[in-house]
Amino acid sequence: MDYYDDNDNENLEVMLLLEAVNAKYGYDFRSYARASIKRRIRHRMSVSGIKKITEVIERLIYDKSFFTDLLGDFSISTTEMFRDPGFFQALRKTVFPVLQRLPFIKIWVAGCSTGEEVYSLAILLREEKLYEKSMIYATDYCNKSLTTAKEGIYNIKSIKKYAANYIQAGGIQSFSDYFKAEADSAAIDPSLRQNMVFSIHNLAADGVFGEMNIILCRNVLIYFNRELQNKVFGLFTQSLEEGGYLCLGSKETIRLSTYSDNYDEMLRDEKIYRRNSAPVSYSKPSAHPVATPEFVTKGGELIRDVKAKMEELDYLLNSVGSLPGQS
């Protein structure tokens, strides 16, 4: 992989940072797209006044609140209600009529972020008289995002955009029926949460959600590398009933994975696939590359170097403070 280049200190530092996050806190971002991870690390460095990634490593190891902030940066939170209205219109017209035949509907929204998509789905289910027999499992690895999702309170400035999306998605009520506006915020109708379960789940490390009729994981997989994408598709395939639906983001596809043959393409543009009866051959994920002794040595040298420089700076500052005439 490109980030294991011996001659690229920044890539080595990023590798060591992700190894530290995994070892210290159990969050595995090692297979996330490297460009995205770097952007988010640089953002945290900028707002924290940090100049080097090695300083980030030390801060996250010894300062849990700093790690929590970094974890929030890693969370994919670009979302809105009824994002890609054509997708939700397709759900209503193509998928929901099939669900009408089921006695009970189980839906997994994986990587739900702050919950806008979850509530969008709940509104459509209610309008199609499917909500009462549905259970929505909304998961994300970021507890901060899940807290926002559970509260269901959003900036009032976003509501105008959400209302326009709702109409384009085929909404049949007044969108204002689904929230209560207060000053600068809008609170989602709490009755929409009755059939929802919010839970921590890390797609990179955690296990199966079994016997689902629909899985939505939209605009999350684009941040994973190819190997992790394939692993997650295996997880979804194990979690989805035969005949169940897998819904992806507009820039995502299952066709490049080893599970492609297990799905029929229902709607190409909307990225809606249906699990077929083809036998599944679950691919065994390769062992994740780990730091070799040489990398450990190089990484140790980098960290020791920055610590030595910090100690030297402390010594110089103390020396200045002790000079004659200094208070």
What span, in angstroms and rounded, lies between the C-alpha atoms of 313 and 307? Answer: 10
Percent share of the chain, pLDDT over 90: 66
For residues 166 and 170, what is the distance between their CA atoms, to the nearest angstrom? 7
Confidence of residue 169 (pLDDT cuts 50, 70, 90): very high
Both 30 and 95 in one domain: the answer is no
Return the structure tokens found at 177.
């029926």
| Cα–Cα dist 250/268, whole Å | 9
Q: How many residues does the structure list for the chain?
A: 327
Mean pLDDT of the chain: 86
Answer yes or no: do 123 and 210 share one domain.
Answer: yes
Confidence of residue 218 (pLDDT cuts 50, 70, 90): very high
Range 68-85 average pLDDT: 86
Q: Which residues contact 34 (CB under 8 A, 6 or more apart)?
A: 2, 3, 11, 14, 225
Q: What pLDDT score does 96 carry?
A: 97
Number of domains in the chain: 2
pLDDT at 307: 52
Q: Is residue 173 part of a domain?
A: no
Asked if the model's pLDDT at residue 317 lies above 80, the reply is no
The answer to the question of residue 295 being in a domain is yes
Could you report the per-residue pLDDT of 9-54, keeping only the tens digit for each? 888 899 999 999 989 888 888 888 888 899 999 999 999 999 999 9
pLDDT value for 291: 43
Q: Which residues contact 187 (CB under 8 A, 6 or more apart)?
A: 151, 152, 153, 179, 180
Query: Does residue 3 carry a pLDDT above 60?
Result: no
Note whether residue 171 is domain-resident. Answer: no
CATH for 114? 3.40.50.150
Say if residue 148 is in the same domain as residue 201.
yes
Binned at pLDDT 50, 70 and 90, residue 292 comes out as very low
Task: Please state, for a pLDDT cut of 70, what percent of the chain lies above it.
Answer: 83
Record the tokens describing residue 89, joined without a space: 């219109």
**CA-CA-CA-CA torsion sign (243, 249, 251, 257):** negative
Residue 235: inside a domain, yes or no? yes
For residues 70 and 45, state if they share a domain. yes
What confidence score (pLDDT) does residue 35 get? 87
Please say whether the beta carbons of 136 and 104 come within 8 A: no
Q: How many CB atoms lie within 10 A of CB 285?
A: 12
Q: What is d(CA 223, CA 251) in angstroms, rounded to the nearest whole number?
A: 11
Give dist(CA 28, CA 279) in Å, integer. Answer: 30
147 and 246, same domain (yes or no): yes
Map residue 241 onto helix, strand or coil: strand
Contacts of residue 156, Cβ cutoff 8 Å, sequence gap at least 6: 181, 183, 184, 185, 186
Largest CA distance in the chain: 87
Asked whether residue 69 falls in the same domain as residue 194, the answer is no
Residues 212 and 131 in one domain: yes
Yes or no: say if 83 and 119 are a contact pair by the CB < 8 Å rule.
no
Count CB neighbours of 252 within 10 A.
18
- Which range has the top average pLDDT, 61-75, 120-134, 277-291? 120-134
Amino acid at position 324, single letter:
P
Q: What's the pLDDT at 325?
A: 47
Domain assignment present for residue 170? The answer is: no
Asked if 113 contacts 77 with a C-beta cutoff of 8 angstroms, the reply is yes
pLDDT the model gives residue 268 = 94
To which residue do tokens 């297979």 refer?
Answer: 31
Q: Which range marks the domain in which residue 225 is found? A: 91-152+190-275
Are 147 and 26 part of one and the same domain?
no
Same domain membership, residue 117 and residue 10: no
Going by C-alpha positions, the residue among 15, 20, 14 that lies closest to residue 53 is 14
